[in-house]
């Protein structure tokens, strides 16, 4: 890059939630390493700190946005919709000021916004700046959201009440079934449809970036390439290409010392991501099943993730007893370090896309218990396409929990085969972000298109 290009700036607009902040900050790191200046325009809620690894980034705040209690009362879908309604004007103002600080409009190479921060597109249109959508989920989930945004809600709801339909394949989305589609547990189907139609609308965007790799989902990527009519850039997994710590919660590193004392590939690591909730009764069945499996376990229980209690205080004493015998609980873990630890033999996960990529990236097979949205798509792919996960469906009972842990970690062939496939996939992912790999080339192509203004 010449001197002029070194100074060009990319503006990032993240959704204020861990699963979205993490990959967009990694994207920022990747682009920064290619010589761009980075500005992050974020909401007041869940702000990333400018300290840590981001001292070279500029951070701007959109004033007067929503709070945690809004998230609790509205639910995630309505929260996002409301955020989009109230941020448009203040974002335009904030962005306008940033523009004034530039010597020339051309100093801003492009703005990359999370697909759920679609309100920001109005500002780029007004200021006539190139914009790019960043999807923090995978391409397959994007395809599904696009399909869902066009379904007839009444008919779909009737269909979904029929167990036979629920279990049948959804036309054109093999191997996904109706019940694997990314409908949200945090709002009505109408809300999902309405939010998804906004999110998949490329508006004036010049490209779409995915934190994914063609070795994981080439047909969905090709399909999007055809349907979206703008270039699609799969540049992930970003946590391998450009790791950047952006935890919004404090990580409890004491679990690493505990892991150091466990046997290789013996531990089940359990985490439901940054938003997942779990009922008391399910936690107790899980603790009983894990305990009966005789395997050690490391369990992330976020404060507030057990409805009706601050942390684990409302759980019966039996729970603490079972956990203290064989397990270790933390409020938030250094997840990537945990997955990299040789003691970890399996990951019980809600199958968020970041967790999925991080687990595959360390060759760790999974127990899949999706809760909502794209997690259901990921779980289906983990089980049926990549074949490195066991899906746990239906009511949680201690017997099924014990069985699934034994299948994955204790008993011979099935778990060993999954681990082998997971390690194969890990190697493919690593190759994709190395020089000459598909994701690395895709990122270079994206950067070249910015250089040549070939949008
Ligand atoms: C949600 C969706 O589930 C996900 O598919 C989408 O791409 C983004 O929004 P979330 O539910 O939080 O995200 O899950 P996930 O995508 O797995 O992200 C969680 C992140 O938190 C991961 O990067 C994980 O490493 C991190 N984490 C989780 C920790 O650092 N410590 C923990 O204890 C638990």
- Determine which residue's CA is closest to atom 15 belonging to ligand 1: 352
Residue 354 · residue 19 · CB < 8 Å? yes
Residue from 75, 143, 85, 92 nearest 116 by CA: 85
> pLDDT tens across 294-313, in order?
999 999 999 989 888 889 88
Kindly report each contact of residues 103-106 with a partner whose C-beta sits within 8 Å and lies 24 or more positions away, as own/partner.
Answer: 105/129, 106/8
Q: Is the CB of 408 under 6 A from ligand 1?
A: no
> What is the Cα–Cα distance from 186 to 79, expressed in whole angstroms?
10
Question: What integer best gives the mean pLDDT of the chain?
Answer: 93
How far, in Å, from the CA of 103 to the mean position of ligand 1? 38
Mean pLDDT within 91-113: 91
- Structure-derived torsion over alpha carbons of residues 335, 339, 342, 344, reported in degrees to the nearest 10: 100
Residue from 325, 327, 408, 304 nearest 365 by CA: 408
Q: For residue 251, which atom of ligand 1 is closest to its CA?
A: 31
- Determine which residue's CA is closest to atom 9 belonging to ligand 1: 19
Which pLDDT score is estimated for 53? 81
Q: For residue 276, which atom of ligand 1 is closest to its CA?
A: 11
How far, in Å, from the CA of 107 to the mean position of ligand 1? 33
- Structure-derived torsion over alpha carbons of residues 251, 257, 258, 260, reported in degrees to the nearest 10: 130
How far, in Å, from the CA of 246 to the mean position of ligand 1? 11
The pLDDT-based confidence of 105 (bands split at 50, 70, 90) is confident
Name the token pair of 175. 């191997």
Residue from 110, 377, 353 nearest 212 by CA: 353
Which residues have C-beta within 8 Å of that of residue 27, sequence separation ≥ 6? 12, 112, 134, 209, 211, 235, 238, 242
How far, in Å, from the CA of 205 to the mean position of ligand 1? 26
Q: Can you tell me whether residue 309 is helix, strand or coil?
A: coil
Please say if the pLDDT value at position 36 is more than 80. Answer: yes
> pLDDT tens across 182-198, in order?
999 888 999 999 999 99
How far, in Å, from the CA of 307 to the mean position of ligand 1? 19
How far, in Å, from the CA of 430 to the mean position of ligand 1? 20
**% of the chain beyond a pLDDT of 90:** 78
Q: Is the CB of 302 under 6 A from ligand 1?
A: no
Q: Can you tell me whether residue 223 is helix, strand or coil?
A: helix
Which pLDDT score is estimated for 425? 98
Q: For residue 239, which atom of ligand 1 is closest to its CA?
A: 23
Q: Is the CB of 374 under 6 A from ligand 1?
A: yes
DSSP code of residue 178: G
> What is the Cα–Cα distance from 252 to 254, expressed in whole angstroms?
6
Which pLDDT score is estimated for 353? 98
Name the token pair of 420. 């082998």
DSSP for 79-141?
Answer: HHHHHHHHHHHHHHHHHHHHHHHSSSGGGEEEEEEETT-GGGHHHHHHHT--EEEEESS-HHH
Ligand 1 site-directed mutation target among 254, 355, 368, most atoms within 8 Å of CB = 355
How far, in Å, from the CA of 131 to the mean position of ligand 1? 25
Please say if the pLDDT value at position 4 is more than 50. Answer: no
Name the token pair of 98. 């940033």
The pLDDT-based confidence of 3 (bands split at 50, 70, 90) is very low
Which residues have C-beta within 8 Å of that of residue 443, sequence separation ≥ 6? 30, 34, 233, 235, 241
Q: For residue 358, which atom of ligand 1 is closest to its CA?
A: 25
Q: Is the CB of 305 under 6 A from ligand 1?
A: no
Q: Is the CB of 146 under 6 A from ligand 1?
A: no
Which pLDDT score is estimated for 52? 65
> pLDDT tens across 213-270, in order?
999 999 999 999 999 999 999 999 999 988 887 888 899 999 999 999 999 999 999 9
Ligand 1 site-directed mutation target among 17, 19, 211, most atoms within 8 Å of CB = 19
> What is the Cα–Cα distance from 436 to 325, expressed in whole angstroms?
49
The pLDDT-based confidence of 455 (bands split at 50, 70, 90) is low
DSSP for 368-429?
Answer: E---STHHHHHHHIIIIIS--EEE--SS--HHHHHHHHIIIIISHHHHHHHHHHHHHHHHHH
Q: Is the CB of 148 under 6 A from ligand 1?
A: no
> What is the Cα–Cα distance from 332 to 329, expressed in whole angstroms?
9
Mean pLDDT within 133-140: 98
Q: Is the CB of 275 under 6 A from ligand 1?
A: yes
Residue 386 · residue 378 · CB < 8 Å? no
Helix axes of 280-293 and 317-326: crossing angle, nearest 10 degrees? 30
Name the token pair of 451. 């250089």
Q: Is the CB of 362 under 6 A from ligand 1?
A: no
Which residue's structure tokens are 């010049």? 206
> What is the Cα–Cα distance from 390 to 348, expressed in whole angstroms?
9
Q: Is the CB of 211 under 6 A from ligand 1?
A: no
Residue 115 · residue 138 · CB < 8 Å? no
Mean pLDDT within 41-51: 85
> What is the Cα–Cα distance from 18 to 24, expressed in whole angstroms?
10
Ligand 1 site-directed mutation target among 115, 182, 274, most atoms within 8 Å of CB = 274
How far, in Å, from the CA of 247 to the mean position of ligand 1? 10
Q: What share of the chain is helix, strand, coil (3-state, %, to 5)?
A: 50, 15, 35
Q: Is the CB of 217 under 6 A from ligand 1?
A: no
Which residues have C-beta within 8 Å of that of residue 295, sequence separation ≥ 6? 266, 267, 268, 326, 345, 405, 409, 410
Q: Considering the entire predicted model, what is its pTM?
A: 0.96
Q: For residue 274, which atom of ligand 1 is closest to its CA?
A: 12
Which pLDDT score is estimated for 63? 84
- Determine which residue's CA is closest to atom 30 belonging to ligand 1: 335
Name the token pair of 126. 């007004």
Please say if the pLDDT value at position 7 is more than 80. Answer: no
Ligand 1 site-directed mutation target among 195, 209, 270, 273, most atoms within 8 Å of CB = 273
> pLDDT tens across 336-363, in order?
999 999 999 999 999 999 999 999 999 9
Residue 210, strand partner residues: 135, 234
> What is the Cα–Cα distance from 301 to 305, expressed in whole angstroms?
7
Helix axes of 189-199 and 68-101: crossing angle, nearest 10 degrees? 10
Q: What angle do CA 201, 204, 205 make, to 5 degrees?
A: 80
């Amino acid at each position: 890059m010449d001197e002029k290009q070194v100074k060009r700036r990319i503006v990032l607009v993240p959704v204020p939630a861990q699963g979205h902040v993490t990959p967009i900050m990694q994207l920022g790191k990747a682009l920064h390493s290619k010589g761009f200046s980075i500005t992050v325009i974020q909401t007041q809620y869940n702000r990333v700190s400018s300290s840590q690894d981001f001292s070279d980034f500029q951070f701007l705040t959109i004033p007067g946005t929503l709070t945690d209690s809004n998230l609790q009362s509205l639910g995630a879908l309505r929260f996002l919709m409301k955020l989009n309604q109230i941020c448009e004007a203040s974002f335009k103002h904030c962005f306008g000021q940033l523009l004034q600080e530039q010597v020339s409009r051309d100093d801003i190479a492009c703005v990359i916004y999370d697909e759920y921060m679609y309100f920001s597109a109005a500002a780029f249109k007004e200021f006539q700046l190139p914009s790019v959508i960043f999807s923090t989920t995978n391409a397959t989930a994007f395809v599904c959201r696009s399909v869902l945004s066009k379904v007839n809600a009444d008919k779909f709801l009737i269909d979904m009440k029929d167990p036979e339909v629920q279990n049948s394949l959804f036309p054109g989305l093999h191997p996904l079934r109706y019940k694997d589609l990314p409908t949200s547990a945090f709002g009505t189907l109408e809300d999902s449809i309405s939010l998804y139609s906004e999110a998949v609308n490329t508006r004036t965007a010049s490209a779409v970036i995915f934190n994914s790799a063609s070795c994981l989902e080439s047909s969905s990527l090709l399909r999007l390439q055809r349907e979206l009519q703008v270039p699609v850039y799969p540049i992930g997994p970003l946590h391998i290409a450009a790791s950047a710590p952006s935890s919004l919660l404090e990580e409890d590193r004491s679990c690493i010392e505990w892991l150091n004392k466990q046997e290789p590939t013996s531990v089940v690591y359990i985490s439901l991501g940054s938003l997942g909730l779990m009922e008391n009764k399910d936690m107790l069945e899980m603790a009983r099943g894990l305990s009966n499996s005789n395997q050690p376990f490391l369990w992330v229980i976020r404060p507030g993730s057990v409805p009706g209690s601050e942390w684990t205080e409302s759980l019966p004493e039996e729970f603490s007893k079972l956990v203290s015998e064989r397990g270790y609980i933390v409020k938030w873990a250094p997840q990537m370090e945990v997955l990299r630890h040789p003691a970890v033999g399996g990951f019980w996960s809600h199958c968020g896309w970041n967790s999925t990529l991080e687990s595959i990236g360390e060759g760790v097979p999974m127990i899949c218990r999706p809760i909502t949205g794209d997690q259901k798509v990921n779980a289906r792919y983990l089980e049926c396409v990549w074949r490195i996960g066991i899906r746990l469906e239906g009511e949680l009972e201690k017997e099924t929990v014990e069985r699934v842990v034994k299948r994955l970690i204790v008993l011979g062939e099935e778990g060993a085969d999954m681990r082998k496939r997971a390690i194969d996939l890990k190697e493919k992912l690593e190759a994709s972000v190395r020089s000459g790999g598909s994701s690395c080339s895709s990122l270079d192509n994206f950067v070249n298109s910015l250089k040549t203004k070939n949008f």
